Structure 1
Amino acid sequence: MKLSTRGQYGVRALVQLSYNYEKGPLSLREISEIEGISYQYLEQIFLDLKKHYLVKSLRGAKGGYVLAKPPNNITVGDIIKVVEGPIAPVSCVDNSENNDCDRSSICAPRNVWKELRDRITEVLDEFTLEDLVSDSSNEKSGGDYNE
Protein backbone atom coordinates (compact mmCIF):
# COMPACT_ATOMS: atom_id res chain seq x y z
CA MET A 1 0.00 0.00 0.00
CA LYS A 2 1.34 3.41 -0.95
CA LEU A 3 0.25 6.96 -0.32
CA SER A 4 -0.10 9.01 -3.47
CA THR A 5 1.99 12.09 -4.10
CA ARG A 6 -1.09 14.14 -3.08
CA GLY A 7 -0.82 12.81 0.45
CA GLN A 8 2.93 13.14 0.63
CA TYR A 9 2.96 16.66 -0.81
CA GLY A 10 0.06 17.77 1.36
CA VAL A 11 1.95 16.77 4.50
CA ARG A 12 5.20 18.34 3.28
CA ALA A 13 3.46 21.62 2.42
CA LEU A 14 1.77 21.84 5.81
CA VAL A 15 5.07 21.12 7.54
CA GLN A 16 6.40 24.24 5.78
CA LEU A 17 3.44 26.24 7.10
CA SER A 18 4.21 24.82 10.55
CA TYR A 19 7.80 26.07 10.38
CA ASN A 20 6.35 29.48 9.60
CA TYR A 21 3.53 29.32 12.15
CA GLU A 22 2.91 32.73 13.77
CA LYS A 23 5.52 34.32 11.47
CA GLY A 24 3.12 35.08 8.63
CA PRO A 25 1.78 33.46 5.51
CA LEU A 26 3.71 31.58 2.86
CA SER A 27 2.74 31.75 -0.77
CA LEU A 28 2.23 28.62 -2.81
CA ARG A 29 5.19 29.74 -4.94
CA GLU A 30 7.43 29.76 -1.86
CA ILE A 31 6.22 26.34 -0.75
CA SER A 32 6.60 25.06 -4.32
CA GLU A 33 10.21 26.24 -4.48
CA ILE A 34 11.17 25.03 -1.00
CA GLU A 35 9.66 21.58 -1.49
CA GLY A 36 10.25 21.14 -5.22
CA ILE A 37 6.55 20.54 -5.86
CA SER A 38 4.65 21.75 -8.93
CA TYR A 39 2.82 25.00 -8.22
CA GLN A 40 -0.26 23.81 -10.11
CA TYR A 41 -0.35 20.56 -8.15
CA LEU A 42 -0.13 22.49 -4.86
CA GLU A 43 -3.05 24.67 -5.98
CA GLN A 44 -5.22 21.57 -6.35
CA ILE A 45 -4.15 20.17 -2.99
CA PHE A 46 -4.69 23.47 -1.19
CA LEU A 47 -8.25 23.74 -2.51
CA ASP A 48 -9.11 20.63 -0.46
CA LEU A 49 -7.04 21.72 2.55
CA LYS A 50 -8.83 25.09 2.60
CA LYS A 51 -12.27 23.54 2.07
CA HIS A 52 -11.71 21.32 5.12
CA TYR A 53 -10.37 24.19 7.30
CA LEU A 54 -6.80 22.99 7.67
CA VAL A 55 -5.41 26.15 6.02
CA LYS A 56 -6.59 29.72 5.53
CA SER A 57 -5.68 32.01 2.68
CA LEU A 58 -4.75 35.63 3.26
CA ARG A 59 -5.04 38.12 0.42
CA GLY A 60 -2.78 41.01 -0.39
CA ALA A 61 0.81 41.75 -1.25
CA LYS A 62 2.03 39.79 1.76
CA GLY A 63 -0.67 37.18 1.44
CA GLY A 64 -0.45 33.45 1.18
CA TYR A 65 -1.46 30.54 3.35
CA VAL A 66 -1.35 29.89 7.08
CA LEU A 67 -2.48 26.97 9.18
CA ALA A 68 -6.08 27.28 10.31
CA LYS A 69 -5.20 25.65 13.66
CA PRO A 70 -2.02 25.36 15.71
CA PRO A 71 0.43 22.68 14.51
CA ASN A 72 -0.23 20.58 17.59
CA ASN A 73 -3.93 20.36 16.59
CA ILE A 74 -3.39 19.00 13.07
CA THR A 75 -2.40 15.37 12.66
CA VAL A 76 -0.87 13.67 9.65
CA GLY A 77 -4.09 11.65 9.57
CA ASP A 78 -6.16 14.84 9.25
CA ILE A 79 -4.17 15.85 6.18
CA ILE A 80 -4.16 12.41 4.56
CA LYS A 81 -7.93 11.99 5.02
CA VAL A 82 -8.55 15.37 3.36
CA VAL A 83 -6.27 14.93 0.34
CA GLU A 84 -6.47 11.14 -0.13
CA GLY A 85 -9.94 10.28 1.12
CA PRO A 86 -10.83 7.49 3.53
CA ILE A 87 -7.96 5.47 4.93
CA ALA A 88 -8.73 1.91 3.94
CA PRO A 89 -6.72 -0.88 2.35
CA VAL A 90 -9.89 -2.11 0.58
CA SER A 91 -13.13 -0.28 -0.17
CA CYS A 92 -15.36 -2.50 1.96
CA VAL A 93 -13.85 -1.07 5.17
CA ASP A 94 -13.67 2.61 4.23
CA ASN A 95 -16.53 3.61 6.59
CA SER A 96 -18.46 5.24 3.77
CA GLU A 97 -22.07 4.60 2.94
CA ASN A 98 -21.07 3.45 -0.55
CA ASN A 99 -19.35 0.23 0.46
CA ASP A 100 -22.24 -2.03 -0.41
CA CYS A 101 -20.29 -5.26 -0.31
CA ASP A 102 -22.75 -8.13 -0.32
CA ARG A 103 -20.06 -10.43 1.07
CA SER A 104 -19.21 -8.45 4.21
CA SER A 105 -21.02 -10.85 6.53
CA ILE A 106 -19.18 -13.88 5.13
CA CYS A 107 -15.84 -12.33 4.13
CA ALA A 108 -13.10 -14.19 5.97
CA PRO A 109 -10.32 -11.58 5.54
CA ARG A 110 -12.56 -8.58 6.35
CA ASN A 111 -11.37 -8.44 9.97
CA VAL A 112 -7.77 -8.28 8.75
CA TRP A 113 -8.62 -5.34 6.50
CA LYS A 114 -10.43 -3.57 9.36
CA GLU A 115 -7.48 -4.11 11.72
CA LEU A 116 -5.06 -2.83 9.08
CA ARG A 117 -7.23 0.27 8.52
CA ASP A 118 -7.42 0.92 12.26
CA ARG A 119 -3.67 0.58 12.82
CA ILE A 120 -2.78 2.78 9.88
CA THR A 121 -5.24 5.40 11.14
CA GLU A 122 -3.81 5.12 14.66
CA VAL A 123 -0.26 5.78 13.46
CA LEU A 124 -1.25 8.68 11.20
CA ASP A 125 -3.32 10.26 13.97
CA GLU A 126 -0.49 9.85 16.48
CA PHE A 127 1.76 12.41 14.78
CA THR A 128 0.97 16.12 14.69
CA LEU A 129 2.60 18.75 12.53
CA GLU A 130 4.30 20.00 15.68
CA ASP A 131 5.85 16.53 16.14
CA LEU A 132 7.16 16.55 12.57
CA VAL A 133 8.68 20.01 12.95
CA SER A 134 10.24 19.03 16.27
CA ASP A 135 11.61 15.77 14.84
CA SER A 136 13.01 17.63 11.84
CA SER A 137 14.68 20.21 14.10
CA ASN A 138 16.29 17.43 16.13
CA GLU A 139 17.53 15.77 12.97
CA LYS A 140 18.98 19.01 11.59
CA SER A 141 20.75 19.76 14.86
CA GLY A 142 22.09 16.25 15.16
CA GLY A 143 19.71 15.30 17.97
CA ASP A 144 18.88 11.66 18.51
CA TYR A 145 15.21 10.63 18.56
CA ASN A 146 16.02 7.67 20.75
CA GLU A 147 17.64 9.52 23.60
Structure 2
Amino acid sequence: MKISTKGRYGLTIMIALAKNYGNAPLPLKTIANDYNLSEHYLEQLIAPLRNEGLVKSVRGAKGGYLLTREPKLITAADIIRTLEGPIRPVEEMDDEEPAKRELWKRIRDAVKDVLDTTTLQDLSNYDDSNYQEEHMFYI
Protein backbone atom coordinates (compact mmCIF):
# COMPACT_ATOMS: atom_id res chain seq x y z
CA MET A 1 0.00 0.00 0.00
CA LYS A 2 1.37 3.35 -0.99
CA ILE A 3 0.08 6.42 0.81
CA SER A 4 -0.23 9.29 -1.67
CA THR A 5 0.21 12.99 -0.99
CA LYS A 6 -3.52 13.08 -0.19
CA GLY A 7 -2.98 10.85 2.83
CA ARG A 8 0.30 12.45 3.87
CA TYR A 9 -0.95 16.03 3.62
CA GLY A 10 -4.26 15.06 5.18
CA LEU A 11 -2.36 13.72 8.18
CA THR A 12 -0.39 16.98 8.26
CA ILE A 13 -3.61 19.02 8.39
CA MET A 14 -5.06 16.84 11.12
CA ILE A 15 -1.88 16.84 13.23
CA ALA A 16 -1.77 20.65 13.01
CA LEU A 17 -5.41 20.80 14.14
CA ALA A 18 -4.67 18.34 16.96
CA LYS A 19 -1.77 20.50 18.17
CA ASN A 20 -4.16 23.46 18.09
CA TYR A 21 -7.00 21.57 19.84
CA GLY A 22 -8.83 23.73 22.40
CA ASN A 23 -7.73 26.98 20.75
CA ALA A 24 -9.30 29.26 18.14
CA PRO A 25 -9.99 27.86 14.67
CA LEU A 26 -6.89 27.33 12.57
CA PRO A 27 -6.94 28.70 9.01
CA LEU A 28 -5.64 26.46 6.21
CA LYS A 29 -3.43 29.36 5.13
CA THR A 30 -1.55 29.07 8.43
CA ILE A 31 -1.08 25.31 8.01
CA ALA A 32 0.03 25.80 4.40
CA ASN A 33 2.58 28.43 5.44
CA ASP A 34 3.83 26.47 8.47
CA TYR A 35 4.44 23.30 6.44
CA ASN A 36 5.28 24.93 3.09
CA LEU A 37 2.31 23.30 1.34
CA SER A 38 -0.14 24.52 -1.29
CA GLU A 39 -3.17 26.12 0.34
CA HIS A 40 -5.23 25.28 -2.74
CA TYR A 41 -4.36 21.58 -2.39
CA LEU A 42 -5.17 21.61 1.33
CA GLU A 43 -8.59 23.11 0.49
CA GLN A 44 -9.28 20.08 -1.70
CA LEU A 45 -8.31 17.70 1.10
CA ILE A 46 -10.26 19.37 3.89
CA ALA A 47 -13.63 18.81 2.15
CA PRO A 48 -13.69 15.00 2.54
CA LEU A 49 -12.43 15.34 6.11
CA ARG A 50 -15.30 17.75 6.83
CA ASN A 51 -17.82 15.52 5.03
CA GLU A 52 -16.66 12.56 7.13
CA GLY A 53 -17.25 14.62 10.30
CA LEU A 54 -13.61 14.76 11.39
CA VAL A 55 -13.34 18.56 11.16
CA LYS A 56 -15.72 21.49 11.16
CA SER A 57 -15.29 24.90 9.60
CA VAL A 58 -15.82 28.25 11.26
CA ARG A 59 -16.53 31.19 8.98
CA GLY A 60 -15.45 34.75 9.43
CA ALA A 61 -12.34 36.83 9.94
CA LYS A 62 -11.17 34.57 12.76
CA GLY A 63 -12.42 31.44 11.06
CA GLY A 64 -10.68 28.26 10.14
CA TYR A 65 -10.97 24.61 11.08
CA LEU A 66 -11.37 22.65 14.29
CA LEU A 67 -11.41 18.96 15.11
CA THR A 68 -14.88 17.64 15.90
CA ARG A 69 -13.54 15.25 18.55
CA GLU A 70 -10.62 15.07 20.93
CA PRO A 71 -7.35 14.07 19.22
CA LYS A 72 -7.28 10.82 21.23
CA LEU A 73 -10.57 9.79 19.57
CA ILE A 74 -9.41 10.18 15.95
CA THR A 75 -7.10 7.54 14.49
CA ALA A 76 -4.68 7.66 11.60
CA ALA A 77 -6.93 5.03 9.99
CA ASP A 78 -9.90 7.42 10.09
CA ILE A 79 -7.92 9.93 8.07
CA ILE A 80 -6.24 7.53 5.65
CA ARG A 81 -9.48 5.68 4.89
CA THR A 82 -11.27 8.98 4.28
CA LEU A 83 -8.66 10.24 1.84
CA GLU A 84 -7.21 7.05 0.35
CA GLY A 85 -10.04 4.51 0.56
CA PRO A 86 -9.80 0.96 1.91
CA ILE A 87 -6.51 -0.19 3.39
CA ARG A 88 -5.09 -3.04 1.35
CA PRO A 89 -1.62 -3.77 0.01
CA VAL A 90 -2.79 -5.27 -3.30
CA GLU A 91 -5.98 -5.64 -5.29
CA GLU A 92 -7.88 -8.84 -4.52
CA MET A 93 -7.09 -11.53 -7.04
CA ASP A 94 -9.27 -14.63 -7.21
CA ASP A 95 -6.60 -16.68 -8.95
CA GLU A 96 -3.93 -15.88 -6.32
CA GLU A 97 -2.24 -18.81 -4.62
CA PRO A 98 -3.50 -19.40 -1.05
CA ALA A 99 -0.04 -18.76 0.42
CA LYS A 100 0.20 -15.36 -1.28
CA ARG A 101 -3.37 -14.46 -0.32
CA GLU A 102 -2.45 -15.21 3.29
CA LEU A 103 0.66 -13.02 3.03
CA TRP A 104 -1.35 -10.08 1.63
CA LYS A 105 -3.92 -10.54 4.39
CA ARG A 106 -1.24 -10.50 7.09
CA ILE A 107 0.36 -7.38 5.62
CA ARG A 108 -3.04 -5.67 5.40
CA ASP A 109 -3.87 -6.61 8.98
CA ALA A 110 -0.51 -5.35 10.28
CA VAL A 111 -0.92 -1.99 8.50
CA LYS A 112 -4.53 -1.68 9.68
CA ASP A 113 -3.46 -2.44 13.24
CA VAL A 114 -0.84 0.33 13.22
CA LEU A 115 -3.24 2.85 11.70
CA ASP A 116 -6.16 1.82 13.95
CA THR A 117 -4.09 2.11 17.13
CA THR A 118 -2.29 5.37 16.32
CA THR A 119 -4.29 8.42 17.36
CA LEU A 120 -3.90 12.08 16.47
CA GLN A 121 -2.90 12.63 20.06
CA ASP A 122 -0.02 10.16 19.62
CA LEU A 123 1.09 11.91 16.45
CA SER A 124 0.75 15.44 17.80
CA ASN A 125 2.65 14.60 20.98
CA TYR A 126 5.49 12.88 19.15
CA ASP A 127 8.84 14.29 20.22
CA ASP A 128 11.28 14.08 17.34
CA SER A 129 14.18 15.57 19.31
CA ASN A 130 15.36 12.02 20.05
CA TYR A 131 14.94 10.90 16.44
CA GLN A 132 18.13 9.84 14.76
CA GLU A 133 18.06 9.15 11.09
CA GLU A 134 19.42 5.76 10.23
CA HIS A 135 22.37 5.88 7.90
CA MET A 136 23.18 3.36 5.25
CA PHE A 137 26.88 2.69 4.84
CA TYR A 138 28.30 1.06 1.74
CA ILE A 139 31.73 -0.54 1.44
Bin the TM-score by the shorter chain. Answer: 0.7 to 0.9
* Residue among 99, 120, 127 paired with 2:118: 127
- List runs of 5+ in structure 1 lacking aligned partners: 93-100
Aligned Cα RMSD in Å?
Answer: 1.8
Aligned to 2:95: 103
State how far apart, in whole Å, the 2-side matches of 1:38 and 1:77 are: 24
Count of paired positions: 131
Please state how far the C-alpha of 1:43 moved relative to its aligned partner.
Answer: 0.9
Q: Which runs of 4+ in 1 moved over 6 A?
A: none
AA matched with 1:122: D
Partner of 2:40: 40
Q: Compute the displacement of 1:103 (Å).
A: 2.8
Give the aligned partner of residue 135 of structure 2.
none
Identity between Structure 1 and Structure 2 (%): 44
Partner of 1:20: 20
AA at the equivalent of 1:5: T
- TM-score, with length taken from structure 2: 0.86
Alignment of 1:36-115 (within 5 A): 36-92=36-92, 101-103=93-95, 107-115=98-106
CA offsets, 1:11-48, max 9 Å, x none?
11111101110111111111111111111110111011
Gaps of 5+ in 2: 132-139
How far 1:102 moved relative to its partner?
Answer: 4.0
Higher relative contact order (CA 8 A, sep 6+): 2
Residue by residue, what CA displacement relative to the aligned partner does 1:76-131 show, whole Å, maximum 9, x if unpaired?
11111111111101121xxxxxxxx5436x64411111111111000111111111
Secondary structure of the residue aligned to 1:23 is coil
